Amino acid sequence: MTSVIETSGLTKTYGAVRALDGLSLSIPRGGVYGVLGPNGAGKSTLFRILLGLIRPTAGEVQVMGQPAGDPAVTRRMGSMIETPRYPPYLTARQALRWLALAHGMGAEAETDRWLARVGLTEAADRKVRGFSVGMMQRLGVAAALMTRPDLVILDEPTSGMDPPGIQEMRSLIRSLADDDGVTVVLASHQLLEVQRVCDRVAILNRGKLAAEGKVSDLTASGERLRLSATPLAEVIAVLGERGSVQDDAVMASIPRAEAPALLRALIEQGVDIDEARWVGADLESVFMTETSSVEGDRP
Amino acid sequence: MMLADAIRAETWRLLQNRTALLWSIVFVPVVGLAASIAGNLFIDDKISAVRDRLPSQLRLERGTLDLGQALLEAAGNLANPALLAFLLIGAASVFAGDYRWETWRLITARNSRPNLIMGKAGAVKLMVLAGLLLMLAAAVIGAVAKGLIFGNSFVFHFGAETAQSFGLMFLLAFVRVVQFLLLALLAATVTRSMLAALFVPLVIGVAQAFLAKGAPLLGWRMGDWPTMLLFPGDAYEVLKALIQGGMMAAVLPDGAGWRAVAGLALWSFAPFFMALWWFRRQDLSKE
């Protein structure tokens, strides 16, 4: 697995605040990689360092084998950091044309095609001063992709979008990775969307790496046995602290190997079991688990 | 190539900003032309009223108007305070626009910072060139209109000597205007503010003009080192006088021209390189 981004001991401080605290991370080439974390976890700081907008206080960072911020590398990257803004006197088409010129591109920028791909064809000749946040996001994504980058960094790409827009954006991001071979690194607070679109995720907390891996592995590690049974009190008595009641069922946090013995024990206790099935953890619960330990310490 | 990209993108973006272009390069020539035509029509009306009452032998013959001379005079008046102030609007829009609209992050990833700053300076120079040419066009149209109003005949004397003076005068005006506008670049880069880009050069310019008036009290003469290094407006006037010749050129001290060149160069290069130095180390993640 070759890496497109490698960080080692990456640290960034703003006065007394450590936005990144010795972060070591390896992001593989290809696919969609999610960077998650609560506000202030260091996601945007990481992205800004990767794009060369700010310099790290300490540590190493390489993007596509070169130091971050090297123009040779940044020219192969597309990005959208937070909600992008444009000079208000420009139309959407003019904004892309301006950026194409700034990037040394001519007709090959295919601005109209990218406007169509993000669903802005009808608004192409409207001044951006009247755009909603969602439309700005779409324009930002078009600007990031127009240069045909090898690596795309998107910070909250679906922020401010309506549900159909989110779905379109998810399809676009997936097709970039699957059809165009682009590596997409994104940050989002919409964990369900991340779970649906990302292959791997890193969870940051207070500038440190809290968890990292394939989405399927992270969610599988938190799987539990869901038992619909009567009486529930008897099930809880058998499970002790490993069981909890949730929606008229008991969630048992036990290894798979222990399941047959548990079921036998429950039957012997006279418990009627209506249903027993394994339930994987969703990304939200993984996220909450990984980030809640120090949440209370937040200033 | 990347510098050419930066200049092309900045210039193209400025061309889309019709409001800034109107106020910076169109307003002064058009209003100046309108005022000139209106003034000449008014004068002609008053003169006609008197002339019609004079006996025919006392009436003055209508003279000729040399358009070449009019062009030369216009070149000598190009770097006037009104044009400087209004060109500042376009310059501030270019220099501070990316801070105001938070768009640096969109373009910094694909070009070097020196190129981006030089691209902005290049676009402003092209705007200045367009502004000066419009001023010249307005002056020529105004001269033609004046001739038509007063019934003059036209001649166009533009020999090698006049052409040389005109070329030098135009170049000097261009340098003076660009020098003034580069103060806006420094103000915009350091403060990240469009208002500062507009007002800091104005305040500096006005302060320099007032202080220059008081320079003789300190024993500083026009053409001495202190006046030439402190007051770029005076340096411009010295060089203009040397190109035009005449009384003022005759009373200037020896070496005044070189000192004036040094003064203009100082006030051009210092703001530019200070802005560049500041910009290279600036955190652009938050415009």
Q: Are residues A211 and A242 in the same domain?
A: no
A219 confidence band (pLDDT: 50, 70, 90): confident
The domain containing residue A239 runs over which residues?
Answer: 224-279
Interchain contact, B103 vs A85, CB within 8 Å:
yes
Residue A110 sits in a domain of what CATH number? Answer: 3.40.50.300
B119 belongs to a structural domain = yes
Mutate to test the interface with B, among A103, A129, A145 (most CBs of B within 10 A): A103
Based on the structure, what is the number of domains in chain A? 2
CB–CB of B110 and A48 under 8 A?
A: no
Indicate whether B62 pLDDT > 80: no
Is residue A188 within 8 A of residue A34, CB to CB? The reply is yes
Examine residue B16 and state whether it is found in any structural domain, yes or no. no
Q: Using CA atoms, how far apart are residues A273 and A227, in angstroms rounded to an integer?
A: 7
Domain region containing B223: 2-10+64-280
Which of A13, A49, A86, A101 to mutate: most B Cβ within 10 Å?
Answer: A101
How many domains is chain B partitioned into structurally?
Answer: 1
Q: Among A5-19, A104-118, B157-171, where is mean pLDDT lowest? A: A104-118
User: In the predicted model, what is the mean pLDDT of chain A?
Assistant: 88
Q: What angle do CA B185, B190, A57 make, to 5 degrees?
A: 130
CB contacts, 8 Å: B2 with chain A: 104
Residue A291 within any structural domain of the chain: no
- Among chain B residues, the shortest Cα distance to A51 is held by B109
Round to whole Å and give the CA distance between B110 and B102.
Answer: 16
In a domain? residue A234:
yes
φ, ψ for residue A89, nearest 5 deg: -85, -5
- In the predicted structure, residue A70 carries a pLDDT above the cut 70: yes
Over residues B254-271, the mean pLDDT reads 96
Residue A249's beta-bridge partner residues? Answer: A246
User: B8 pLDDT exceeds 70?
Assistant: yes
Q: Is residue B79 in some structural domain?
A: yes
Location of structure tokens 């069922």? A249
The CB-based long-range contact list for B138-143 (8 Å cut-off, 24+ gap) reads: B138/B29, B138/B30, B138/B32, B138/B33, B139/B70, B139/B71, B139/B73, B139/B74, B139/B77, B140/B67, B140/B70, B140/B71, B140/B74, B141/B33, B142/B32, B142/B33, B142/B36, B142/B37, B143/B65, B143/B67, B143/B70, B143/B71, B143/B74
- Residue A101: closest C-alpha in chain B: B9
Residue of B173 and B49 predicted with greater confidence: B173
- B122-132: buried (b, 16+ CB within 10 Å) or exposed (e) per residue? bbbbebbebbb
What's the token pair of residue B30? 């058009």
Q: CB-based contact (8 Å) between A260 and chain B?
A: no
Position B88 in a domain: yes
Among A5-9, A87-91, B107-111, B184-188, the least confident range: B107-111
In a domain, A175, yes or no: yes
Strand runs labelled E in chain B: 64-66, 153-155
Mean pLDDT of all residues belonging to chain B: 93
**Structure confidence at residue B58 as a pLDDT band (50, 70, 90):** low
Helix axes B81-100, B160-191, angle to 10 degrees: 40
pLDDT of residue A38: 86
A261 vs A272: CA distance, rounded Å: 15
What the block records as the tokens of B173 is 């005006």
pLDDT reading at A296 higher than 50: no
Note whether residue A289 is domain-resident. Answer: no
Is the pLDDT higher at A165 or at B71? Answer: B71
B188 strand-pairing partners: none
Contacting residues of B for A48, CB less than 8 Å apart: 285
Q: Which residues of B touch A53 (CB under 8 A)?
A: 105, 108-109, 283-285
The verdict on A52 and A195 lying in the same domain is: yes
Find which of B3, B94, B103, B111 to mutate to test the A interface (most A CBs within 10 Å of its CB): B103
**Residue A86 at interface with chain B, using a CB cutoff of 8 Å:** yes
Evaluate whether residue B25 is within a structural domain.
no
How are beta strands B64-66 and A243-246 bridged, if at all?
A: unpaired
CA dihedral B180, B185, B188, B189 (to 10 degrees): -150
Amino acid A299: pLDDT = 37
Q: What is the pLDDT of residues A132-167, one digit of tens each?
A: 988 998 999 999 999 899 999 999 888 888 888 888
pLDDT band of A1, cuts 50, 70, 90:
low
The per-residue pLDDT for B229 is 96
CB-CB under 8 Å, B2 with A104: yes
Q: Which residue of B has its CA nearest to A103?
A: B110
Do B285 and A48 lie within an 8 Å CB cutoff?
A: yes
Q: How far is A195 from chain B (nearest CA, A)?
A: 28
Residue A297 predicted with pLDDT over 80:
no
Task: Kindly state whether residue A204 falls inside one of the protein's structural domains.
Answer: yes
- Closest Cβ opposite residue B285 in set A54, A143, A147: A54
Neighbours of B287 (CB within 10 A): 16
Q: Tens of pLDDT along B97-123?
A: 999 999 998 888 788 899 999 999 999
Q: Is A116 a residue whose pLDDT tops 80?
A: yes
DSSP per-residue string spanning A68-129: TT-HHHHTTEEEE-SS----TTSBHHHHHHHHHHHTT--GGG-HHHHHHHTT-STTTTSBGG
A65 and A148 co-located in one domain: yes
Looking at the domain assignment, is residue A105 inside a domain? yes
CA distances from residue B206 to A131, B133, B285 in whole angstroms, order as listed: 41, 25, 35
B286 C-beta neighbours (distance < 10 Å), count = 12
Q: Tell me, what's the pLDDT at A298?
A: 41
- Residues with Cβ < 8 Å from A267, sequence gap 6 or more? A273
CB spacing of A86 vs B8 below 8 angstroms: no
Q: Which two tokens stand for residue A283?
A: 């990304």
Phi and psi at A184, nearest 5°, equal: -115, 125
Instruction: Name the token pair of B66.
Output: 């040399």
Kindly state whether residues A254 and A166 are assigned to the same domain. no
pLDDT, one tens digit per residue, over A22-63 is 999 999 999 999 999 888 889 989 998 998 888 899 999 999
Pick B16's closest partner by Cβ from A81, A94, A102.
Answer: A94
Q: Is the previous residue joined to A231 through a cis bond, with omega within 30 degrees of 0? A: yes
Structure tokens at B28: 């002064």
Within a domain: residue B31? Answer: no
Contacts with A83 from chain B: Cβ below 8 Å: none
Q: Are residues A230 and A97 in the same domain?
A: no
What was the pLDDT predicted at B37?
Answer: 96
Asked whether residue B23 is assigned to any structural domain, the reply reads: no
Whether B109 sits inside 8 A of A84 (CB atoms) is no
Interfacial B residues in 65-124 facing A (CB < 8 Å): 97, 101-103, 105-112
The answer to whether residue A294 scores a pLDDT higher than 60 is no
CB of B280 less than 8 A from some CB of A: no
Which residue blocks in B192-231 are alpha helix, DSSP H?
Answer: 194-214, 225-230
Identify the weakest region by mean pLDDT among A204-208, B10-14, B80-84, B265-269: A204-208
What pLDDT score was predicted for residue A159? 83
Per-residue pLDDT at A290 exceeds 80: no
Q: Which of A81, A84, A87 sits opposite B97 (nearest CB)?
A: A87
Residues B239 and B75: their CA atoms lie apart, in Å, by: 13
